[in-house]
Structure 1
């Protein structure tokens, strides 16, 4: 609900602060007093185009601030805040401020946080509906008609939405599988060849390192094989060092008793024989470790070259060949078993589509039944509003494509004259007739859908007497459920207001200004009397005004 409107330097309004309450608020004043300026200012706060022509002459900028009740934490306004990264403080009112500069350009703020005019327009859909001669929002916008009918008929779209999600997911899975299948089919010949040669190679992770180490070892053995053989001959051969040492030891054993130094020489030779034997064992062990078979070396080199060549061919590391072989084998298996898998996915799509169609058909039936009830309710409101020749219908037709809310297109249509074809309301109604149609629909819909604040601009244009009384009575009835503000020239409508505002233009000889004044009971009676009698307020007009107020 709109609780306050502050206007600074908008056309003829220099400074204006207005407070609003729930129920029906009426705005009256003489023709040309500036009622349209007030609506233009409210429109700025709701995201209308920021025209620099609205800036009061001599001012640098116009500023409009609209204050609304605290939004519900789980409502659509809070959701818009979250989507746009804005903070919504619990318990704080919603403030929308719009600044339009005289040299062009505008800025907008929501709760003192910068916002775009587009966001203001999105917020406005949940805050205020302005119905006038050129309005194309609210009930007149076919985009919202389906939601309004669903709210009127208490129609739950949850089952259809869930079935739609399931159908979309099944279609996505099928499309992805088909894409993979088509890609694999195009590459089948290459896939079969690559998978076959990788399977034949049977590479294992770490195999390259093992082969490279073994190859390097055998290559070192090949290089020093001759040296090791000669070293063995020098140490152990028939004329080698160890043989000569053993021969010397035998001689020393025979003569060592003859001299102490010969005994020490024998001990030294024995130690040399032991060390030489150990050296021979180390040489033999090294020779055994470095021993190689030319055939084994050739085999290892061939295998190593094959691994590295295959890795280069597939642009992977040799250790990744095993994983690649598994991947290609899996793709080939998927291709070979694709028909069976595709059939399963197609069955899932068909099952989800059947569930969705059943839910959508149920929605269509529920909407048609609700449309009949709504048509009867609106028809009951037309005659008192001097629209007795008009007919109203809610068209429920098939829409293109499937949506979470079903397969229906809903649009409100009217025929203003007997025998005339039905058409969208905006195309055939005009002036006050248009606003009265909107009022009839709003009363029929009562609390279902729409914004919390409704603004009607001159809904009583061109009517009077009983019709004006009927309009006032229905506005009051509508205001029992939501806030209603109406710009009116009708005393019958004005008398129904819970709060009355007078819009007047004043001229001090230099500058003309527009002001808005909340009226007390006496002032209100005088204003309604003026509306009844014209320039000169007569006692009869005051008495008639008093009767209107008493019966309102």
Structure 2
């Protein structure tokens, strides 16, 4: 229940603090006095959009707050608890600057505007004066019926199933549309990967093959030339070593007087003989390691030829083949099982469709049942509002296509006069009739609401006289166990209220301000008289107002 509303520098209000009670509170005042300001301030506390006109002229910001008693509101307590906010109090605050920017707090903690709106939906319900215009929109009919049916969780689940179903269908269509292309790509990849699997080129194999091919290809030449070098060193037929040995022997055979002069030459020749002998041994080792293997050479060259062929086929270097192999294998792995995916998605889509249809059937049954109750209840309220001969029906029919909200199309039908078939509201209801139908529907909606605080903003437009008195009785009845705030221009409605809030506009020097006060009994009589008779209040008008107030109060005791 809304217990306090504080307004500072908002529109033409400089400072105002209101304490509100349960029951029905009538809000009255002359046209333009600022009744809309009160609801506008409350709306901003509940997350409505702010604009630069919200701030009183000459002030930097507007500061608004609304306090609620939530002891009987488990949904609000759960909302606060879920965000680790205190549950024993609920204070919504909004500050709007003259530039249109705003900040919000919930129980002293910074909050977003979306938070205000979300929490506000659990605290108070506002029925605006233009609700009858929404009744001309048939989408509104479905929403109202669902609200009255009380199957919100089913509606949320139904919409979620529909979204999943449609998303799966879109994915399935993409797969089906791309199926031929994917299958062709998968077939090509399978051939290419199989060819590369057969090649099975290792990461370092190419370098090894090229080295081996070079060694094998030049083995015969290496053998011939090495043998020639070995023969030059150690051959009996003109080899270097025998000639050197012969030279040493002949020098050593010279007379002794000459050998001293040849000592250095003999030493060098001796060293040369040793070097050549070593060279011969090394050449012998090399010669022993030279392998002539024509078959292996042919095999290596064939392998290299296959590697280069595949590299040319894929327009890359031979050393890039292993990376290509890994990439194509990975892509093939991603495409493998595509037909299985198609089958699995088909099964998923069918399962989601079946679940959606099953729930849609249950929701449809709930709607048809609620439509009968709703139609009867509105019919009863229309009788109270001097439309007893009208016939109101809620039509629930099947849609041509599936939708997030199910398979139903809902329309409100009215036959304003006997003997006429019920037709859509927009085609048969006059302005005054539509106002009363709207009021009847809103009263029924409020009776089924779990929110005890209700605001009615001039919903009694278009009614008068005895009908207006009945409207007041209906609103008072709604406020019996909760809280109803109603903005009204009708004294018959205001007289039914438990409390009366008067709003007036006052000019002070160079500024205009709005004042609000809860009226006592004498004040109520005076305000009712003004509403009945205008500015000049005669004794007769005051007496009429007093009798109207006394009669309404006696009727409820």
- TM-score, structure 2 length as denominator? 0.72
From the superposition, tell whether residues 126 and 438 of structure 1 become closer, same or farther in structure 2 (CA, over 3 Å). Answer: farther
- RMSD of aligned alpha carbons: 5.0
Give 1:320 deviation, angstroms: 3.5
Question: What corresponds to 1:110 in structure 2?
Answer: 104
Return closer, same or farther for 1:133/1:93 CA change in 2, 3 Å cut-off.
closer
Match of 1:214 in 2: 209
1:149 to 145, 148, 153: 145
The 3 A distance-change label for structure 1 pair 88 and 348 is: closer
Greater shift, 107-116 or 366-375, is seen at 107-116
1:551 aligns to 2:555 (yes or no): yes
1:305 counterpart = 2:308: yes
Maintained 8 Å contact 1:7/1:13: yes
**Given that residues 502 and 517 in structure 2 are in contact (C-alpha distance below 8 angstroms), is that contact kept between their aligned partners in structure 1?**
yes
Mapped contact 1:65–1:98 kept (Cα < 8 A): yes
Mapped contact 1:363–1:406 kept (Cα < 8 A): yes
Note the 1:312-323 alignment, pairs <5 A: 312=315, 317-323=320-326
Quote the Cα distance in structure 2 between the aligned partners of 1:164 and 1:62. 45
Question: Which segments of 5 or more consecutive residues in structure 2 lack a partner in the other structure?
Answer: 247-270
Alignment of 1:11-26 (within 5 A): 11-26=11-26
Deviations 1:245-292 (A, max 9, x none): xx99xxxxxxxxxxxxxxxxxxx9xx9999889856753575359999
Q: Which structure 2 residues correspond to residues 353-364 of structure 1 after superposition, within 5 A?
A: 353-364=353-364
- Compared CA separation, residues 217 and 429, structure 1 to 2 (3 A): same
- Compared with structure 1, are the counterparts of its residues 451 and 198 closer, same or farther at alpha carbon in structure 2 (3 Å cutoff)? same
For the residues of structure 1 that align with 2:450 and 2:75, how far apart are their CA atoms? 17
Residue 22 of structure 1 deviates from its aligned partner by 3.8
Matched residues in 2 for 1:44 and 1:456: separation? 17
SS at match of 2:485: strand
Distance 1:191 1:423, change over 3 A: closer
**Alpha-carbon distance in structure 2 between the residues aligned to 1:129 and 1:139:** 17
Q: Alignment partner of 1:317: what SS?
A: helix
Gap runs ≥5 in structure 1: 249-267
Q: Paired residue for 2:165?
A: 167
Is the Cα contact below 8 Å between 2:453 and 2:483 reproduced in 1?
yes
Secondary structure of the structure 1 residue equivalent to 2:387: coil
Q: State the Cα distance separating 1:229 from its structure 2 match.
A: 3.9
Closer/same/farther in 2, CA of residues 289 and 126 from structure 1, 3 Å limit: farther
**Partner of 1:312: helix, strand, or coil?**
coil
- Residue equivalent to 1:422: 423
* Equivalent-residue separation in structure 1 for 2:138 and 2:512 (angstroms): 41
Distance 2:416 2:356 in 1: 38
For the residue of structure 2 that corresponds to 1:304, the secondary structure is helix
Kindly state the Cα deviation for residue 138 of structure 1 after the two structures are TM-superposed: 7.6
**Is structure 2 residue 90 aligned with structure 1 residue 93?**
yes
Q: Distance in 1 between matches of 2:284 and 2:312?
A: 42
| Residue aligning to 1:180 | 178
Other structure's SS at 1:497 match: coil
SS in 2 for 1:503: strand
Measured in 2, the distance between the counterparts of 1:476 and 1:274 equals: 130
Matched with 1:252 is none
Check 1:39–1:297 CA distance in 2 against 1; reply closer, same or farther (3 A cut): closer
Query: In the alignment, is the contact (CA less than 8 A) between 1:458 and 1:489 conserved in 2?
Result: yes
Q: Look up the match of 2:268.
A: none
Equivalence for 1:295:
298
Is the alpha carbon distance of 1:543 and 1:286 closer, same or farther for their aligned partners in structure 2, counting shifts above 3 Å?
Answer: same
